């Protein structure tokens, strides 16, 4: 019988840091093989558009702490 994902995750947590990182990289690389090239291009174009907006000053980045505070407020957590 196949193992549950939770069992595999727990086993992976026992690996040394470097091996966990390697496992993550391999899983991401395997997942990326099946991506639609058009969707990937669209995401790349969007990322470049957003970067250009930040570099030009049109858009200002919001610090992580502020984003998280806003999110907590929206969901009712402090």
| Phi, psi dihedrals of residue 35, rounded to the nearest 5° | -80, 145
Spatial distance between the Cα atoms of 48 and 57, rounded to a whole number of angstroms: 14
In terms of C-beta density within 10 A (0-12 exposed, 13-18 middle, 19 or more buried), how is residue 11 classed?
exposed
Per-residue pLDDT of the chain (78 residues; tens, 9 = 90+): 789 999 999 999 999 999 999 999 999 999 888 889 999 999 999 999 999 999 999 999 999 999 999 999 999 876
Please state the φ and ψ torsions of residue 77, each to the nearest 5 degrees.
Answer: -110, 155
Which pLDDT belongs to residue 50? Answer: 95
């Amino acid at each position: 019988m196949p193992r549950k994902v939770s069992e595999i995750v727990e086993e992976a947590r026992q690996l040394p840091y470097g091996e966990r990182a390697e496992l993550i990289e391999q899983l991401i690389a395997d997942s990326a093989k099946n991506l639609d090239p058009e969707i990937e291009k669209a995401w790349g174009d969007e990322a470049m558009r957003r970067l250009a907006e930040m570099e030009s000053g049109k858009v200002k980045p919001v610090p992580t702490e502020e984003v998280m505070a806003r999110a907590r407020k929206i969901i009712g957590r402090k």
